[in-house]
A and B are shown apart, each in its own frame.
Chain A
Amino acid sequence: MAHSLSEACTPLKSEYDSCFNAWFEGYLEPAVSTTPEQRTKFSNQKAAEYEEKCGKIWEKYRSCVQKAVKDKQLDALLDQARQENPLKEPPNDSSTNKASSS
Chain B
Amino acid sequence: MKFFSQSFLYDDPWSIVSFAFFLRYPNPYASHVASCDVISRSLSPQGTLITTRLILKHGALPRWAPKGIMKNAESWIIEESEVDPFGRVVRCSTRNLDHVKIMRVEETITLRQTEDHKTIQHTEARFVSGFGWGLTKRIESHGVAKFKAHVHRSREGISVILNLIRQSRMQPM
Contacts and interface: CB of A to CB of B under 8 A. Distances in A.
Size class of the A contact interface (CB-based, 8 Å) = 35 or more
A43 B89 CA distance: 16
Interface of B: 4-7, 14-15, 18-19, 22-23, 25-26, 33-39, 41, 43-44, 46-50, 52, 54, 56, 76, 78, 80-87, 89-91, 93, 95, 97-98, 110, 112, 120, 122, 124
Contact of B85 (A4, A28, A62): A28
Given A91-B87, A96-B122, A65 B39 contact: yes
A1 B164 CA distance: 13
B43 A69 contact: no
Contacts of B52: 87
Contact of A102 (B5, B25, B36, B43): B5
Interface of A: 1-5, 9, 13, 16, 20-21, 24-25, 27-30, 34, 39-40, 42-43, 46-47, 50, 58, 61-62, 65-66, 69, 74, 77-78, 80-81, 85, 87, 90-91, 95-97, 99-102
A34 B18 CA distance: 20
